[in-house]
Structure 1
């Protein structure tokens, strides 16, 4: 596939034209008001699907009189019901595609991914992987995820945890896949349409892979920042987050742009590598996926038009 990092001259003209057209429409029609309404509706729909998933699992639990043993096969049908729902949502709203799934090993592995303004692409990935391979990918999430009311059962069923290093290593040693985003909330809030990785000095995930003796599998989703964006460029939001760690940076979007998730070549376990060296390898691998598949800076209209692109 041709690199997506450098748009052609004709594409640049299209982006410039649409930028001017958008500005004119904003002036004539109050498009900013429309964006607010659109974001409210699309985000409400997203949370609607989230809570519908939780409701379905609670009904399934009550109907089958199940307990908290979420590894039991008795939960499989309930889990699959939610998987179908999210896979359908991904197909309809973002024309979701998953490329390179054959690169994921049959055994354990640590999936490392770029974090968008929302992790909705990662939810699509989990659902598609379950449908294609029948495998559940456990996940590491920020602590504030567990403060969202009404979704605890959903998180438990899909193996989402805040997780320390020992717990992560044990999951991998048990033969499971585990997904983590080193950039986390900071990358979600303060990266932008240039898709810069904001990992800071985080390398704990690399030490987990070394301790568990598993490969790292890089992952990146095209147009992720065009689906949802944040106001993280406003300095006051960055200052407030760094001071308080409160996740209150506003986001906007919910646009039905094309999402394609790409799995890169696994970085094999090497007993002689350090955590710092493995971190750099993982970062380089994700940046390579980004440079190969993402035109930067991202453009919302272009990403919308890719829903009609039949050349890939």
Structure 2
């Protein structure tokens, strides 16, 4: 409690001095959100030591139906590391009523390759989900839906930033997407670029975020080559840490008992 009180005092002092007017509110929200994650999901983070205490880092994560795991990770990183994870979010968030101040406070932007390189070049931590809303709405059983996208690899190469793959166990069991009729949802998404498939859930399943070993860009490596290594790294995290197919009941039981994993 003494550490939290001291951190809160320092951050509020920083807010009052206008170095970062959002710092105090962001820290208080993080405390509430971190408590929510712990109580409702028994939220844990493994591999947080892979996040640097200073300097640049690019997080590449699998996108759940609702990315509450990234909210929890942002909160935990603010509390434990004292660092903000800058996030790339879909443009439709800018149209959601009441989200303007949240996006500004937590520096969530649509992002371009050049703006993301700039953020990393200023020694920040940046998170990107290459699958985005498409993956959130249409991923089946933790399938990566990245297509031929390489923008995230161009960002890492342009900023010469280490890449940390991120995956959260049971994130698709916490919230599910109504898949039927999928053709209709796909058609609406392609036309409107807005997530139209209904989402249900909020189940108090066990959530555990895994941060993998950093992937370092190689000299002369092409965006396609780096993208392939990143995708393999994240797919490996999913393969090693997620029981497939995902089951809500099993994920709920994970709060009190974790069955031995079979090879």
Give the TM-score normalised by the residue count of structure 2. 0.88
Q: Which residue of 2 aligns with 1:90?
A: 37
Distance in 2 (alpha carbons) for counterparts of 1:74 and 1:140: 21
Shift of 1:162: 0.7
Matched, 1:211 2:158: yes
Q: How does 1:148-297 map to 2 (within 5 A)?
A: 148-192=96-140, 194-232=141-179, 234-297=182-245
Distance in 2 (alpha carbons) for counterparts of 1:305 and 1:257: 8
Distance in 2 (alpha carbons) for counterparts of 1:102 and 1:298: 28
Matched, 1:126 2:79: no
Shift of 1:74: 4.3
Distance in 1 (alpha carbons) for counterparts of 2:98 and 2:189: 25
Give the TM-score normalised by the residue count of structure 1. 0.75
Q: Which residue of 2 aligns with 1:135?
A: 83
Shift of 1:165: 1.3
Structure whose alpha-carbon radius of gyration is higher? 1
Q: Detail structure 1 runs of 4+ shifted over 3 Å in the superposition.
A: 64-67
CA distance 1:183–1:79, shift in 2 (3 Å): same
CA distance 1:311–1:132, shift in 2 (3 Å): farther
Q: Which residue of 1 aligns with 2:52?
A: 105
Pairwise CA RMSD of aligned residues?
2.0
Distance in 2 (alpha carbons) for counterparts of 1:74 and 1:199: 36
**Gap runs ≥5 in structure 2:** 1-11
**Gap runs ≥5 in structure 1:** 1-60
Distance in 2 (alpha carbons) for counterparts of 1:180 and 1:66: 31
Higher share in helix: 1
